[in-house]
Amino acid sequence: MAKKKTVTVDAVHCKGCQYCVDACPKQALALGQETNTAGYNYVVLDQEKCIGCGTCYIVCPDYVFTIMEEEDA
């Protein structure tokens, strides 16, 4: 069975540098209008567009992304 990868965003640690926004091949990431507790606008992930490639996880300097693998039922 194929594994489904789910990406989650820990917005508290995002500094809004947008490295991930530029690097995402699916334009699944965008900087949101709201700010986190540190005062930075943080990225918002569109799960519909995300293919779980992990590029955002690699480029983010602040460990905002977590990628989880789930077995399909």
Q: Which residues contact 22 (CB under 8 A, 6 or more apart)?
A: none
Tell me whether residue 22 or residue 72 sits nearer to ligand SF4 (CB atom): 22
CB 62 within 8 A of CB 14: yes
Q: Of the two residues 1 and 51, which places its CB atom closer to ligand SF4 in the complex?
A: 51
Choice between 5 and 71, CB closer to ligand SF4:
5
Residues near ligand SF4 (CB under 6 A) are 7, 14-20, 24, 26, 28-29, 43, 45, 50-56, 59-60, 62, 64
Kindly state the tokens that stand for 39.
């005062």
